[in-house]
A and B are shown apart, each in its own frame.
Chain A
Amino acid sequence: MALLDCRNLEKVYVNDGLATPALGGVSFKAESGEFVAIMGPSGSGKSTLLHILGFLDAPTGGEYFFDGKTDQDYSAEDIAHTRNKKMGFVFQAFNLLSRTTVLENVKLPLLYSGRKESEWDELARKAVEDVGLIHRIEHEPSQLSGGEKQRVAIARALVNEPQIIFADEPTGNLDSKSGQVIMEILQKLNEEKGHTILLITHETYTAEHAQRIITMKDGMIESDRKVDHRFKADHFKK
């Protein structure tokens, strides 16, 4: 069974009676352990697709199965729990809590996880270690570089050991060198730890870190191909 299964997904935004189609029938599947990049220019519907895949928004047509279930099978509370336990999110704008240490930021999903509080510290430390930021653990976001902030966000996405990580333009706010480090981390997580990753980007270069690239245009899938010459990053050095 595929982890993600989209069947003819449609999304129409209605604003003041004016209908704007964002997705016009999108179908694809992604298996557990895959590293998929969704590419396309702005306005192609890739962010809308990600929101639906992450249960942050509901489609207006078609069906979406995550781990065999659609959002109709869940209550609002179950959806929150699913996001918490099975999904991790990395955003373009990092979205870290200011005046809050790296450790506390990474702990955030644990607050809502129902796990024992005594485990929180260890889990959060491990996640911070995985992104190579253990030396910054007591720092606050204002003391970190953009790349470091995004690594904290990845640690936060990892901390509950989710089945999939959704990364929405994770390198969009970073210089190329910091972006490179982020991509290396994502690749390593996929290859060494078997995390499923769904990456959204508009840069071909970034997308080529993935195993598979789905290209979108005007709310439809234009192409879906395997990456032949995958950009293979050296595993990052501290």
Chain B
Amino acid sequence: MLFTHTAKTALNGLKTNRSRSALTILGIVIGITAIILVVSVGQGAQDLILGQIQALGSKTIVVLPGREPSGPTDPSIVDSLFSDSLKERELKALQNKSNAPYVKNIMPIIFGTDSGVYEGETFRLTILGVSELASEIFDLTPKEGNFFTAEDVKGRTDVAVIGSKVKDELFGASDAVGERIKIKGRNFRVIGVLPSKGQVSFFNFDETVLVPYTTAQTYVFGIKHFNRLVVEAESEDKIDQTVSDIEITLRNLHGITDPKKDDFFIETQADIAERVSTVTNILTLFLATIAAISLLVGGIGIMNIMLVSVTERTREIGLRKAVGATEKNILMQFLLEAVFLTVTGGIIGVILGALLSFAVAIVLSQFVGLSWTFNFPFLAAFLGFVVSALVGLVFGLYPAREASKKSPIEALRYE
């Protein structure tokens, strides 16, 4: 009862100084807006990246050559680029059902960049050597022509399936299927054109030319090893089993007894997703922390204005005390004023932050073409709310105490 009246009194106090109140909460508004925006956009980015990783299929396991890098500065990153520990022999061993019974598909990948030429047009493209299984594993169905077959892989034929951007750059509007593009001095017959896919996991298929891995090994890169082995397990619950099957098989093959000396390492989609989440979460937290600093600045602004207000209203405080207000009553009144200020700022900030991140989502999905989804960060909104109330409490406490300690006589004498 007294609370509702104190609340009304506090609101009236703010209303009489509308523009000052509005300016005072600006710091809080900016702080909360920034936090909501950062968290929402961070969540969107994470969803986008995770979505791309998931597009590769949750049953997929990737085997990489070399030692697993312990961090971004570990020199073994370079090792893994040049290591030749995965070759035809390892592929054969893993294809053997008695070694890895739950492997459904296994496909080697080699990749590199080179330029492709067609009638004087040159385009820098990613060359991806894969098997016919890529069509299934990466869900690639040409919109024109066909994918290459197991026979093409076996026979090292010079055929290529090209991404949509490669097609646009080299052929423009004219037909590509049946034409030949020159890579490393060798003519490849275009047999298929892929629809636009955007980024999928590590690859942007739009800028890629897919060729049989055998052809790529022999005629394009001149190597005998693979850069990756992509393994598809029969089902998701067989992933752990398959990972350990692969490890045992490859260690046996390479005569490794100490797992620390592995010359290969394995990534599951879950591992990658987890690592990406960690990175984006840290980034989001970092940015949100910076945004939180503006809350601190906003809080100091609130404290400043509340102190001015307390001095201005010395008479009012004195009168209230003379007619029976206790120190607690006065403290509550001014504390509530500060909390009203900051919570109002918090609400405006949450709304503004949501609108801005919605605008970002629209721009990114409509104009940039990313499959971006708008996330309203309920937790961040709730926290923003709580934090703005806390800022009011913390920074309002000192001015409110000053107000409550005023002596009624001094206050009434004040002119």
CB distance from B3 to the nearest CB of A (A): 11
A152 to B329, CA, bound (A): 23
* Chain A residues whose CB sits within 8 angstroms of the CB of B9 once the complex forms: 111
* Chain A residues whose CB sits within 8 angstroms of the CB of B234 once the complex forms: none
| Beta-carbon contact of B412 and A80 below 8 Å | no
| Beta-carbon contact of B16 and A84 below 8 Å | no
| Beta-carbon contact of A83 and B319 below 8 Å | no
| Beta-carbon contact of B322 and A89 below 8 Å | yes
| Beta-carbon contact of B324 and A56 below 8 Å | no
Given contacts A56-B408, A117-B1, contact A109 B323 (CB under 8 A): yes
A111 to B12, CA, bound (A): 15
| Beta-carbon contact of A80 and B325 below 8 Å | yes
Of B2, B12, B327, B409, the contact of A76 (CB 8 Å cutoff): B327
* Chain A residues whose CB sits within 8 angstroms of the CB of B320 once the complex forms: 108, 112
* Chain B residues whose CB sits within 8 angstroms of the CB of A51 once the complex forms: 409
CB distance from B16 to the nearest CB of A (A): 6
* Chain B residues whose CB sits within 8 angstroms of the CB of A151 once the complex forms: none
B113 within 8 A of A: no
List residues of A (39-74) whose CB comes within 8 Å of B's CBs.
51, 54, 56-57
* Chain A residues whose CB sits within 8 angstroms of the CB of B324 once the complex forms: 80-81, 83-85, 109, 112-113, 160
* Chain A residues whose CB sits within 8 angstroms of the CB of B408 once the complex forms: 56
| Beta-carbon contact of A117 and B323 below 8 Å | no
Given contacts A51-B409, A56-B409, A95-B412, contact A112 B319 (CB under 8 A): no
| Beta-carbon contact of A95 and B327 below 8 Å | no
Interface string of A15-44 (1 = CB under 8 A from B): 000000000000000000000000000000
CB distance from A149 to the nearest CB of B (A): 13
Given contacts A95-B319, A99-B16, contact A80 B5 (CB under 8 A): no
CB distance from B222 to the nearest CB of A (A): 87
| Beta-carbon contact of B326 and A97 below 8 Å | no
CB distance from B377 to the nearest CB of A (A): 40
B315 within 8 A of A: yes
* Chain B residues whose CB sits within 8 angstroms of the CB of A76 once the complex forms: 326-327
A100 within 8 A of B: yes
* Chain A residues whose CB sits within 8 angstroms of the CB of B16 once the complex forms: 99
A85 to B326, CA, bound (A): 13
* Chain B residues whose CB sits within 8 angstroms of the CB of A175 once the complex forms: none
A89 to B411, CA, bound (A): 14
* Chain B residues whose CB sits within 8 angstroms of the CB of A81 once the complex forms: 324, 326
B316 within 8 A of A: yes
Q: Which residue of A lies closest to B1 (CB)?
A: A117
A156 within 8 A of B: yes
B321 within 8 A of A: yes
Of A91, A95, A100, A112, the contact of B12 (CB 8 Å cutoff): A100
Q: Which residue of A lies closest to B321 (CB)?
A: A80
| Count, chain A residues at interface, CB 8 A | 27
List residues of A (76-96) whose CB comes within 8 Å of B's CBs.
76-77, 80-81, 83-85, 89, 91, 93, 95
Given contacts A97-B316, A97-B319, A100-B12, contact A111 B326 (CB under 8 A): no
A231 to B217, CA, bound (A): 122
CB distance from A111 to the nearest CB of B (A): 5
Of A77, A84, A93, the contact of B323 (CB 8 Å cutoff): A84
| Beta-carbon contact of B322 and A56 below 8 Å | yes
User: Counting chain A CB atoms within 10 Å of each CB, which of B16, B407, B412 scores highest?
Assistant: B412
CB distance from B228 to the nearest CB of A (A): 74
* Chain B residues whose CB sits within 8 angstroms of the CB of A54 once the complex forms: 322
| Beta-carbon contact of B329 and A112 below 8 Å | yes
| Beta-carbon contact of B325 and A112 below 8 Å | yes
Of B5, B316, B323, the contact of A83 (CB 8 Å cutoff): B323
A83 to B321, CA, bound (A): 9
* Chain B residues whose CB sits within 8 angstroms of the CB of A93 once the complex forms: 412
| Beta-carbon contact of A111 and B412 below 8 Å | no
A85 to B325, CA, bound (A): 11
* Chain A residues whose CB sits within 8 angstroms of the CB of B328 once the complex forms: 77
Interface string of A110-122 (1 = CB under 8 A from B): 0111001100000
| Beta-carbon contact of A117 and B5 below 8 Å | yes
A111 to B329, CA, bound (A): 10
Q: Which residue of A lies closest to B320 (CB)?
A: A108
List residues of A (119-141) whose CB comes within 8 Å of B's CBs.
none
A153 to B408, CA, bound (A): 16
* Chain B residues whose CB sits within 8 angstroms of the CB of A89 once the complex forms: 322-323
Given contacts A76-B327, A112-B329, A116-B1, 19 further A-B contacts (CB under 8 A): A56-B407, A56-B408, A76-B326, A80-B325, A81-B324, A97-B316, A99-B16, A100-B12, A108-B323, A109-B324, A111-B2, A111-B5, A111-B9, A111-B329, A112-B324, A112-B326, A113-B324, A117-B5, A156-B323
Q: Which 5 A-B pairs have the closest CB atoms?
A: A84-B324, A109-B323, A112-B324, A80-B326, A95-B319
Selected A-B contacts with CB under 8 Å, 15 pairs: A56-B322, A56-B409, A80-B324, A80-B325, A81-B326, A84-B324, A89-B323, A93-B412, A95-B318, A99-B16, A111-B2, A111-B5, A112-B325, A112-B329, A113-B324
